[in-house]
């Protein structure tokens, strides 16, 4: 038989849990469907909306750089760029890796186009670091992004589904993300 104090404690916990909000107070140029838009961003800004295990609604600074090392896989050399969007705290951010074959690059910027996300060493990738868990591209994930150069600004719109958090022996959780950013050269 459940005692009245136990029932009262459980009821109180339920009320507190349902009253909590994941809203961090940041304003993000998102519409009501969790979509983000380049048209509402200035150069150097990015916005992210996610649904699933956690609902993120972020806006932050965005910047990019050509990493100092090139990558060689199966005898093919690649340039690697890193795009970062800051989250609401110093520990929260988004990292996008852009990989392109050296022979197809005409300058120190990636080419305009649509890039498929893959998550392997020689593939384009996205990683999201949050206070509630980190999310990575996995075998069950899908996604792509469109990149357009505008001077030294990389304009990127990205959609990805089933980014995964959790590892061996942990519960797996998933999020879907929409991201838009106008990253400045770092």
Select the more confidently predicted residue: 107 or 165.
165
pLDDT tens-digit readout, 76-105 = 888 999 999 999 999 999 999 999 988 887
Neighbours of 106 (CB within 10 A): 6
Select the more confidently predicted residue: 164 or 4.
164
Integer Cα distance of 41 and 179 in angstroms: 11
pLDDT tens-digit readout, 26-84 = 333 444 456 899 999 999 999 999 999 999 999 999 999 998 667 888 888 889 999 99
* Residue from 159, 145, 150 nearest 184 by CA: 150
Residue 23 is predicted with a pLDDT of 42
pLDDT tens-digit readout, 106-137 = 778 999 999 999 988 778 999 999 999 999 99
53 domain-assigned: no
- Give me the phi and psi of 12, to 5 degrees please: -65, -45
15 domain-assigned: no
45 domain-assigned: no
* Residue from 179, 175, 85 nearest 132 by CA: 175
pLDDT at 5 over 70: no
Residue 146 is predicted with a pLDDT of 98
Structural domain of 180: 61-186
14 domain-assigned: no
**What's the mean pLDDT in 141-166?**
96
* Overall domain count for the chain: 1
88 domain-assigned: yes
Residue 14 is predicted with a pLDDT of 42
SS (H, E, C) the chain: CCCHHHHHHHHHHHHHHHHCCCCCCCCCCECCCCCECHHHCCCCEEEEEEEECCCCEEEEEEEEEECCCCEEECCEEEEEEEEEEECCCCCCEEEEEEEEEHHHCCCCCCCCEEEEECCCCCCEEEEEEECCEEEECCCCCEEEEEEEEECCEEEEEEEEEEEEECCCCCCCEEEEEEEEEEEEEC
Q: How far is CA 108 from CA 26, 31, 98, 156, in A?
A: 34, 34, 12, 17
142 domain-assigned: yes
pLDDT at 144 over 80: yes
98 domain-assigned: yes
Q: Which residue has the tokens 């109180």?
A: 12
Question: Model pTM?
Answer: 0.80
Residue 33 is predicted with a pLDDT of 56
Work out the percent of the chain whose per-residue pLDDT is above 90: 60
46 domain-assigned: no
Integer Cα distance of 85 and 88 in angstroms: 10
């Amino acid at each position: 038989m459940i005692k009245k104090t136990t029932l009262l404690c459980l009821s109180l916990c339920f009320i507190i849990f349902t009253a909590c909000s994941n809203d961090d107070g940041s304003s993000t140029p998102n519409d009501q469907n969790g979509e983000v838009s380049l048209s509402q961003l200035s150069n150097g800004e990015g916005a992210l909306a996610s649904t699933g295990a956690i609902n993120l609604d972020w806006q932050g600074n965005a910047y990019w750089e050509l990493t100092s090392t090139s990558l060689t896989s199966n005898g093919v050399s690649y340039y690697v760029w890193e795009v970062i969007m800051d989250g609401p705290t110093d520990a929260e951010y988004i990292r996008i890796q852009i990989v392109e074959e050296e022979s197809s690059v005409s300058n120190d910027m990636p080419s305009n186009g649509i890039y498929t996300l893959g998550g392997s060493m020689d593939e384009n990738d996205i990683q999201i670091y949050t206070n509630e868990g980190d999310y990575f591209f996995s075998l069950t994930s899908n996604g792509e992004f469109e990149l357009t150069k505008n001077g030294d600004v990389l304009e990127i719109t990205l959609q990805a589904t089933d980014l995964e958090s959790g590892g061996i022996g942990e519960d797996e959780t998933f999020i879907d993300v929409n991201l838009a950013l106008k990253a400045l050269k770092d």
